[in-house]
Amino acid sequence: MSNGELSDGPQDGARSASRTQAGGLPAISRGLRSARRDDTPGQRPRDGSIPEGCQRRSLGGCFWHPFRVRPASHTGSGGVAGAHPPANGWQPSGLLVALVLALFTSTPAHAAQLLAGVAKVDITDRAAGPVNDPSYVKALVLKDGSTTVVLVTVDAVAIGGIGRIGNDYLGKVRAELQRELAIPAASVLVNASHCHSIVRADTDALTVQAVKEAAKNLVPVRAGAGRGREDRIMENRRLKLKDGSELDLRRAYATPRDEDVASVGPVDAEIGLLRLDRADGRPFALVYNFACHPIHGVPAGGNTADFPGFASKVIEENFGEGVMAFFVQGCAGDINPSLYKATQHPHDAEAYGNLLGLSALRAARGIKTGEASPLRVVREAVSLPRAADYQKRIAAIESEQARLLKSFRGTSLNFKAFLPLFLQHKLSPDFPGYHNYGYLHEKSQGRDALAKLDAENRANVEAYLQNIQAMERLTHLQVNLALLKRHHAEAVAAGTPTLDVEMSGMRIGDFVMVTFPGELTVELGLAVKKRAPGKFTFVAGYTNGYLFYLPTEAQRKNTGYAQEDCDCLVAPEWRKIFDERTDSVLKKLLAP
């Protein structure tokens, strides 16, 4: 399949990504049979059939309409607007007209039929190097009467900010969809999976292509919400130390010593699910929301959509023919793939994707779908306070670096000499230099040369270990100090005390999701879910922009200086504003 070519199944280029359902809208008047018509003009058929010239219409229900329909601007005196007697001379009785008027005035309005269309486009930059598996932009277009919602998922690291997708991407996509499809900007939600694949430079145009293709092929659907569970593929990367600080697990620096770690942070094992079925009950699409960094990689290397790509493939290949799966990243700011720092086996995101995909499938199969009402989308502007303590934190780290540099101790060992001595002293702390009998023999002769050598070596080993630990801590501080300095320079250049972003939310029946443009840590998402009034309320980060890491207030004030604390643009008090606006959006989405 060529770059940008549309594809619909889990196999590359197998079929068109759009779904066109034969038959269109289901016949609401399935129970009514067409009556035989009498060709005799001017005479009403005795068998009750409708004479030639009458039209069937759906008006709050289905019935045979005993008059022709004209434009609404055409009104006859003393009759129903837009109607006149048929040309064959048959006139409706007064009772029948009264019945029709009663249907107009007394029948409750039914919710508009929910329509959906899906499409996906390959956005892999195949010129950037080896490719393990493709990356996609996928579009789900939902329409219910006058409301349209577009959910776009992108196998990319972020929507602006970092990576290949520029800061102008969202504006360009929204403007084009407004111009060509009259879709309001507020109705477009774009979520990045946060996988670190390299996507094409024209991903904005390919996104518009996917949305247009999905919008062209809307079909009737039923919807249902649910949840699954997967707790085997992720871990919290923030470690709580015994001194009260927190450090994080990254491949950029060393893991803290086991004896310094007191506890670990929480994870969110919930899989939020939106199932869409065709009118005949066959699965059409599955949206699944889950929180974990897709940064595990594959054994052979190469460009990869990581575990979300593999999970979606499992769903699409097993849920039903033509199903499209949409991974929506949750609050994964401090959530790593499980065993992320393991060195004894290759890292393989496919295994984790298989587990997630099967868990989502298991739960999705138990969801019952029905009429999905209402369809809503909400967008609110949010102004967050910029961090104003960069200089203070930079000074604190530099002071800690100076202290660590002064802590280095001289030792006669290099690494080659250190390693065997370290092992000897760990293996046999009492007799590291020789067998036990040698020490006993020396003692019997009034000598202690072995014991003195052990003491000297022990002191050198301990000094070398302390130097290694200081070096590891310096590396940790150096990496995150660079982040603080970069963001401080950006804040000075911006010259504004606030960051203006948007919070969005969507509701499809019982399924409710609120979104935010940043790497929300997992505690934030868990707190929203706990207090949310809706039964099926989920949270997505990485949506409609990129605001770097968004930690809790306590995490933001951490003196251990983890990445989530330092690769951060907001002041600690941002959390209060986030909670207030989240509750506001949820209230609007869940209003009667």
My answer on whether 395 and 382 are in the same domain is no
Residues 6+ apart with CB under 8 A from 236: 264, 265, 266, 267, 334, 335, 336, 522
My answer on whether 379 and 426 are in the same domain is no
Residue 101, pLDDT above cutoff 50: no
What's the pLDDT band for 93 if we cut at 50, 70, 90?
A: low
Residue 423, pLDDT above cutoff 90: yes
My answer on whether 284 and 176 are in the same domain is yes
Number of domains in the chain: 3
Torsion-angle region of residue 343: left (phi > 0), alpha (psi -120 to 50) or beta?
Answer: alpha
What's the pLDDT band for 18 if we cut at 50, 70, 90?
A: very low
Of 93, 318, 369, 335, give the one whose Cα is nearest residue 231: 335
With a pLDDT cut of 90, the percent of the chain lying above it is 79
My answer on whether 430 and 555 are in the same domain is no
Q: How far is CA 326 from CA 26, 183, 286, in A?
A: 26, 20, 6
Per-residue tokens: 262: 């007191």
What was the pLDDT predicted at 373? 86
Residue 410, pLDDT above cutoff 70: yes
Q: What is the dihedral of CA 366, 368, 374, 375, to 10 degrees?
A: 60
My answer on whether 378 and 279 are in the same domain is yes
Q: How far is CA 161 from CA 196, 370, 517, 547, 548, in A?
A: 13, 39, 10, 7, 8
Region of poorest pLDDT, from 6-15, 426-435, 468-477, 536-545: 6-15
> What one-letter code names the amino acid at 339?
L
The answer to whether position 17 is within a domain reads no
Q: What is the dihedral of CA 149, 152, 157, 159, to 10 degrees?
A: -50
> What one-letter code names the amino acid at 383?
S
Rounded distance, CA 131 to CA 304, Å? 7
Region of poorest pLDDT, from 28-42, 190-204, 362-376, 416-430: 28-42
Helix (H) or strand (E) holding 321: none
The answer to whether position 1 is within a domain reads no
Q: How far is CA 162 from CA 196, 225, 386, in A?
A: 10, 33, 19
pLDDT digits (tens, 9 = 90+) for 329-376: 999 999 999 999 999 989 999 999 999 999 999 999 999 999 988 999
Q: In what order do the strands lie in the sheet with 375-385?
A: 375-385, 498-508, 511-515, 536-540
My answer on whether 124 and 213 are in the same domain is yes
The answer to whether position 16 is within a domain reads no
Of 446, 465, 494, the domain-final residue = 494
My answer on whether 286 and 233 are in the same domain is yes
> What b-and-e string marks burial along 140-161, b requiring 16 or more CB atoms within 10 Å of the CB?
bbbbbeeebbbbbbbbbbbbbb
Q: What is the pLDDT of the chain when averaged over all its residues?
A: 86
15 vs 576 pLDDT, higher one? 576
Contact between 592 and 376 (Cβ < 8 Å): no
> What one-letter code names the amino acid at 241?
L
Of 341, 270, 349, 281, give the one whose Cα is nearest residue 309: 349
- Written in H, E and C, the secondary structure of 561-583 is CCHHHHCECECCCHHHHHHHHHH
Q: What share of the chain is helix, strand, coil (3-state, %, to 5)?
A: 35, 25, 45
The answer to whether position 145 is within a domain reads yes
Residue 152, pLDDT above cutoff 50: yes
The answer to whether position 40 is within a domain reads no
- Burial of residue 219, with CB atoms counted within 10 A of its CB: 0-12 exposed, 13-18 middle, 19 or more buried: buried
- Neighbour tally for 226: CB within 10 Å: 22
What's the pLDDT band for 95 if we cut at 50, 70, 90?
A: low
Per-residue tokens: 550: 């968004």
pLDDT digits (tens, 9 = 90+) for 470-523: 999 999 999 999 999 999 999 999 999 999 999 999 999 999 999 999 999 999
Q: How is residue 199 annotated by DSSP?
A: B
Residues 6+ apart with CB under 8 A from 551: 333, 334, 521, 558, 564, 565, 568
Treating both helix axes as pointing N-terminal to C-terminal, what angle do 306-318 and 349-364 enclose, rounded to 10 degrees? 40
pLDDT digits (tens, 9 = 90+) for 76-91: 333 333 334 444 444 5
The answer to whether position 307 is within a domain reads yes
pTM, two decimal places = 0.80
58 vs 298 pLDDT, higher one? 298
My answer on whether 70 and 95 are in the same domain is yes
Q: Are strands 324-329 and 234-236 parallel, antiparallel or unpaired?
A: unpaired
My answer on whether 445 and 585 are in the same domain is no
| Residue 260 backbone phi and psi in degrees, to 5 | -95, -15
Contact between 326 and 240 (Cβ < 8 Å): no
What was the pLDDT predicted at 420? 97
35 vs 210 pLDDT, higher one? 210
Helix (H) or strand (E) holding 304: none
Q: How is residue 476 annotated by DSSP?
A: H
What was the pLDDT predicted at 112? 83
pLDDT digits (tens, 9 = 90+) for 482-496: 999 999 999 999 999
My answer on whether 361 and 416 are in the same domain is no
Helix (H) or strand (E) holding 336: strand 335-337
Q: Are strands 147-154 and 136-144 parallel, antiparallel or unpaired?
A: antiparallel
Contact between 101 and 64 (Cβ < 8 Å): no
Of 467, 494, 521, the domain-final residue = 494
My answer on whether 168 and 152 are in the same domain is yes
pLDDT digits (tens, 9 = 90+) for 116-130: 999 999 999 999 999
My answer on whether 293 and 434 are in the same domain is no
Of 449, 465, 494, the domain-final residue = 494
* Centroid of chain to Cα 152: 10
The answer to whether position 53 is within a domain reads no
Rounded distance, CA 238 to CA 221, Å? 42
What was the pLDDT predicted at 66? 33
Of 170, 126, 135, 171, give the one whose Cα is nearest residue 156: 135
What was the pLDDT predicted at 81? 36
Contact between 124 and 161 (Cβ < 8 Å): no
Average pLDDT over residues 19-46: 37
Domain that holds residue 404: 390-494
Residue 525, pLDDT above cutoff 70: yes
DSSP helix/strand/coil, 509: coil
The answer to whether position 200 is within a domain reads yes
> What one-letter code names the amino acid at 306?
D
Contact between 570 and 564 (Cβ < 8 Å): no
User: How many residues comprise the chain?
Assistant: 592
